Chains A and B, each alone.
Chain A
Amino acid sequence: MTVLKVNGRPVEISNRGDRTLATALREDLGLIGVRVSCAEGECGSCTVLVDNKPMTSCLMLAQQAKGKEIVTIEGMANGDDLHPIQQAFIEEQGFQCGFCTPGLILSTKAFLAENPNPTADEVSVGMSGNICRCGAYPYIVKAVLKAAELMDETATA
């Protein structure tokens, strides 16, 4: 078995080489919030954080993540307390069907870590690695800006 650190805890996955990280997270660990749609790195639904960087887990082998820290959507909330980004997506309704939402939230986390006070245009470009087929984009941009605001408040509180 291979040991990964997922959402702060060590976990075991199969040590098969020929499996993607997305498959391991969904099938071995039951983390269904890792959404897989296109399976070719285009849609961004399967985005997870690997050592705090956003990556499309469908284009990464599970074994490549060995020894790395992985965060999935399941690791964002603290019990019933939603992460400010999740809260912001709810408040601005930055989603419709919700399938792309976990990937977008993780992309947002990485994006805001690098650019905590972005402009709307920067957000718009920064979120372009995730497709929202329902077309919630303008509300996604608002949600990310709102999240920046909420996180800023949390940081200064």
Chain B
Amino acid sequence: MGKQDKTLKVIGKGLHVKDAVEKVTGTIRYGVDYEVQNMAHGCIVRCPHAHARITNIDSSKAEALPGFIGILTHEDVPQNDWESAWFNYRGKVLDGIGRFVGDDMAAVAATTPEIARKAAELIEIEYELLPAVFNMEKARLPDAPQIRDEGNERDPYGVSWGNVPAGEAASDHTVECDIFYESQQYAPLGRNACIAEWTGDRVNVITSSQTPSELRDGIHEALGFPLSKIRVQALPSGSSFGQWWSNNFMMISVLLAKKIRKAVKIELTNEECMATVKRRHQERTRGSMGCNKDGELTFFKFDHLIDNGGYGFKDDVGFFCVDMWGKNGHGDYQIHGINTNMVTAGCMRGVGDCTLGASVERCADQLAEQVGIDPVDFRIKNQIVAGDELRMQHSRHNLKGEVDDYIKSVPEHLRKDWPELFKLSAGGTRALLETGSEAFNWKSRWKGWATPTHSEGSVRRGIGVGTGAHVCGVEFEGASNAMVRLNPDGSAKVHAAVGRQGAGAETTQAMVVAEELGLTLDQVEIETGDTDSCPWNHGSLASSTMYRTGWASREAARDVKNQLLAIAAHEFFDSVDPSELDVEDGEVVHGDPGKHNQRIPFSDVLNELRSDSLGQTSSITGSPRVPMPPSTTFARQFGAQFAEVEVDIETGQIKLLDFICVQDSGTVVNPQVLKNQVIGAAICGTGFAIYEHMIFDENTGALKNGNLLDYKLLRCADFPHTTKVIFVEDPDPVGPFGARGAGESPIAAGISAVAQAVYNATGVWVDMPMTPERVVTAIKAAHA
């Protein structure tokens, strides 16, 4: 890794995040806190029906309301489809058809939020009711009501390798599963709002978003006008987990502001955030898995359904359990994206990992039990390590072609340092499982499958282990770019359009640049939200921020450094080869102090630029100068988690007693940030495992628990405060300073750990969420 070997001064330090003081003093501004002068307030008119077409809109009563400003209907809206990242949304901003209860039908603007809300209530819409379908299995039937022009179901996304019948024939043990997963809700603390303000024919959009560039793209598609006229100023958000990327209410804000010729802010209520924006898919896995008598997996055969709701359009979800468990055997995974008259579903943290991944983990556990191997050993035996083949990418028939084209398009000399493609470049679960089982004292605590570690009265305790894997960002929608600017005083600014949803990117990206430039963190500032100054970036999704944007930030800093050293060599170091120079503590130094012992502050070098014959100005800007290798084909992150639970088998209540998270994200850039992110994922995953689920009205698909009283989020005392995070660092050959992605593998690992622990405590596998009632029902059914 060349210069990466030198002692790191910033990377690896648990530095305080850049916005820490703003956060503890309450001065940081989220979407809901922002306002612009003379703005109007908007409110969305929502569909009361599951599926309906507007036949008439009467706004006369609203118009009579003092303070009413204007209304936006589908007739005002360009009938262009726009897409959110990963097809999380695909459709028109408004098209006169409501596809779920709560769908956006129109929007009103008024002088105050209260009047806007009242005006929205006074809009009288007549509908032609259309047949609706809420169940994805029913939505697949030929005579099902069609929700979208494209049809309710598209070609399945498939991954297959080897020869499944041969794998089945070689199996000594086979298990089958049919598991349904309820929808998890982002339940975003902080909600969101969007302000749109037009200046002439340019629009400025201020909202909380993890994907500023994708949001600008979405507005471009929806309105059909140039990207150069759209400015997004993305703000920090509250918890997001994939909810606040580009959302239709942002498009509505833009069009409403245009219609009323006035800045407008639409602020969503908590219930709107929960019931009308997005959710994790409802999913169903049917399938089977087998292994031989030695516990080596022989085949995987899974058919998996994901319910996209009204506007989700995913059919190529990355399910990274396929990679993680794909060391042995033959596989065939078919994934079907289906639309229903339910609120849109899309990517939520660990998409697929938390569902299909949990199904595969459960099947693996059942096989391990049949063979008589403990779950840690079974995972070590069957999960990939560095150098193993990645099944997902090898067989992505719909995308592989593009990857191959991309690879071929990169000149040979730029590819020579790339890791071997389609094989895991670094890491794996083995070291995590070994380290974790030692820390958890697994071997002595393990009493056998379906055997409680402790029994007393109606209480049973059990332990469990789970694993998770995810990509570290993906390249297929474009390469994430970043720009670094070195100022005349030697301080630097990074421009990287990533999210500030609490994952610390505003700090860790700056740390990468600081390290590369030999600066302190304090000398590097960052702009993450402004698309007018930041180059296109995929944003913070698919665990890409540290890996792909971090790579770009580092390359941009490297470009700055190279320019700086070239000037310094010419002006201060007797025109030595710039490669003999380096940066250190804000100064340019010679690699061999014996030859040149002077230390030239960056500001002096930059000052030379003012009158220098190089003709540059007094700052340097840098961008990546080489193409990033297609990391989806080799980079993965891994998590392993260990849990002990206590189950009251009479009431079904589950208590978490002990938890350990082990994480492999390559080099740890900021341990404080990463620990927090890993524990947060474990808590969110555990919530999904035991409580969190959206309850829908079976006749209308409307959300019945769109509030935090009945949508249960774990609280402080619900999760062991003693939980430890342990890092296993296997540096990555491509990621910045060896770092990889982090946010999504740890959510999946905890889910399976808790599910397995409940099984070991009770002897029963319970479908998620394992609410008290479901636990009792499952125990009763098993004993019936």
- CB within 8 Å of B: which residues of A? 31-40, 42-43, 45, 72-74, 76-77, 82, 86, 89-91, 93, 95-102, 105, 120-121, 123-125, 127-128, 130-142
> Given A43-B189, A125-B717, A133-B188, A98 and B23 touching (CB < 8 A)?
yes
Chain A contact residues: over half helix, strand or loop, or mixed? Answer: loop
Q: State whether B26 touches A101 (Cβ < 8 A).
A: yes
**Which residue, of B24, B187, B675, has the highest number of chain A Cβ atoms within 10 A?**
B24
Q: State whether A138 touches B502 (Cβ < 8 A).
A: no
Q: How far is the CB of A121 from chain B (nearest CB, A)?
A: 8
> Given A97-B239, A98-B28, A39 and B715 touching (CB < 8 A)?
no
Residue from B190, B239, B677, B716 in contact with A35 in the complex, judged by beta carbons closer than 8 Å: B190
Q: State whether A127 touches B707 (Cβ < 8 A).
A: no
Flag whether B385 is at the interface (Cβ < 8 A): no
6 nearest A-B residue pairs (beta carbon): A33-B26, A98-B23, A97-B502, A96-B502, A135-B683, A135-B680
User: How far does the alpha carbon of A32 sit from the alpha carbon of B238 in the complex, in Å?
Assistant: 14
| B:708-737 near A, CB below 8 Å | 708-709, 713-723
Q: How far is the CB of A66 from chain B (nearest CB, A)?
A: 22
> Given A128-B717, A133-B238, A134-B502, A77 and B189 touching (CB < 8 A)?
no
Flag whether B76 is at the interface (Cβ < 8 A): no
> Given A99-B30, A138-B723, A93 and B16 touching (CB < 8 A)?
yes
Q: State whether B236 touches A98 (Cβ < 8 A).
A: yes
Q: How far is the CB of A119 from chain B (nearest CB, A)?
A: 10
Complex interface: chain B residues within 8 A of A36 (CB): 32
Q: State whether B189 touches A72 (Cβ < 8 A).
A: no
Residue from B29, B240, B714 in contact with A135 in the complex, judged by beta carbons closer than 8 Å: B714
Residue from A33, A125, A128 in contact with B27 in the complex, judged by beta carbons closer than 8 Å: A33
Q: State whether B189 touches A133 (Cβ < 8 A).
A: yes
Flag whether B270 is at the interface (Cβ < 8 A): yes
Q: Mark B15-29, 1 if CB is under 8 A from A, else 0.
A: 011011111111111
Q: How far is the CB of B502 from chain A (nearest CB, A)?
A: 3
Chain B contact residues: over half helix, strand or loop, or mixed? Answer: loop
> Given A33-B25, A82-B21, A90-B20, A135 and B708 touching (CB < 8 A)?
no
Complex interface: chain B residues within 8 A of A37 (CB): 188-191, 238, 270
Q: State whether A96 touches B187 (Cβ < 8 A).
A: no
User: How far does the alpha carbon of A125 sit from the alpha carbon of B718 in the complex, in Å?
Assistant: 9
User: How far does the alpha carbon of A147 sit from the alpha carbon of B174 in the complex, in Å?
Assistant: 55
Q: State whether B25 touches A100 (Cβ < 8 A).
A: no
Q: State whether A102 touches B238 (Cβ < 8 A).
A: no
- Given A74-B25, A120-B722, A124-B717; 19 other pairs, CB 8 A cutoff: A32-B33, A38-B270, A45-B189, A82-B25, A95-B23, A96-B504, A96-B677, A97-B236, A98-B24, A98-B236, A102-B24, A120-B721, A131-B708, A132-B716, A133-B713, A134-B680, A136-B676, A138-B723, A142-B721
Q: State whether A141 touches B270 (Cβ < 8 A).
A: no
- Chain B's closest residue to A74 (CB) is B26
Pull 16 A–B residue pairs with CB atoms less than 8 Å apart, ordered by A: A33-B25, A37-B189, A40-B707, A40-B708, A40-B709, A42-B709, A45-B190, A89-B24, A98-B236, A99-B239, A121-B721, A133-B189, A134-B676, A137-B715, A138-B721, A139-B676
Q: State whether A102 touches B721 (Cβ < 8 A).
A: no
- Chain A's closest residue to B269 (CB) is A39
- Chain B's closest residue to A80 (CB) is B21
Complex interface: chain B residues within 8 A of A134 (CB): 189, 239, 502, 676, 680
Complex interface: chain B residues within 8 A of A35 (CB): 26, 190
Q: How far is the CB of B324 from chain A (nearest CB, A)?
A: 23
User: How far does the alpha carbon of A64 sit from the alpha carbon of B381 in the complex, in Å?
Assistant: 64
- CB within 8 Å of A: which residues of B? 16-17, 19-30, 32-33, 187-191, 236-240, 269-270, 501-504, 672-673, 675-677, 679-684, 707-709, 713-723
Complex interface: chain B residues within 8 A of A39 (CB): 269-270
Residue from A42, A45, A101, A142 in contact with B24 in the complex, judged by beta carbons closer than 8 Å: A101
Complex interface: chain B residues within 8 A of A96 (CB): 239, 501-504, 676-677, 680
Q: How far is the CB of B305 from chain A (nearest CB, A)?
A: 28
User: How far does the alpha carbon of A139 sit from the alpha carbon of B502 in the complex, in Å?
Assistant: 14
Q: State whether B719 touches A137 (Cβ < 8 A).
A: yes
User: How far does the alpha carbon of A149 sit from the alpha carbon of B187 in the complex, in Å?
Assistant: 34
Q: How far is the CB of B273 from chain A (nearest CB, A)?
A: 9
- Chain A's closest residue to B19 (CB) is A98
User: How far does the alpha carbon of A73 sit from the alpha carbon of B48 in the complex, in Å?
Assistant: 40
- Chain A's closest residue to B680 (CB) is A135
User: How far does the alpha carbon of A142 sit from the alpha carbon of B675 in the complex, in Å?
Assistant: 13
Q: How far is the CB of B30 from chain A (nearest CB, A)?
A: 7
Q: How far is the CB of B747 from chain A (nearest CB, A)?
A: 10
User: How far does the alpha carbon of A142 sit from the alpha carbon of B708 in the complex, in Å?
Assistant: 25
User: How far does the alpha carbon of A99 sit from the alpha carbon of B19 in the complex, in Å?
Assistant: 12
Q: How far is the CB of A151 from chain B (nearest CB, A)?
A: 15
Residue from B29, B680, B715 in contact with A128 in the complex, judged by beta carbons closer than 8 Å: B715
User: How far does the alpha carbon of A36 sit from the alpha carbon of B193 in the complex, in Å?
Assistant: 13
User: How far does the alpha carbon of A119 sit from the alpha carbon of B91 in the complex, in Å?
Assistant: 53
- Chain B's closest residue to A86 (CB) is B24
User: How far does the alpha carbon of A82 sit from the alpha carbon of B20 in the complex, in Å?
Assistant: 11
Q: State whether B190 touches A90 (Cβ < 8 A).
A: no
Complex interface: chain B residues within 8 A of A139 (CB): 675-676, 679
Q: State whether A128 touches B502 (Cβ < 8 A).
A: no
Q: State whether A136 touches B26 (Cβ < 8 A).
A: no
User: How far does the alpha carbon of A95 sit from the alpha carbon of B677 in the complex, in Å?
Assistant: 10
Complex interface: chain B residues within 8 A of A98 (CB): 19, 22-24, 28, 236, 502
User: How far does the alpha carbon of A131 sit from the alpha carbon of B717 in the complex, in Å?
Assistant: 11
User: How far does the alpha carbon of A17 sit from the alpha carbon of B713 in the complex, in Å?
Assistant: 32
Q: How far is the CB of A146 from chain B (nearest CB, A)?
A: 13
**Which residue, of B23, B27, B681, has the highest number of chain A Cβ atoms within 10 A?**
B23
Q: State whether A137 touches B16 (Cβ < 8 A).
A: no
> Given A96-B680, A97-B237, A42 and B707 touching (CB < 8 A)?
yes
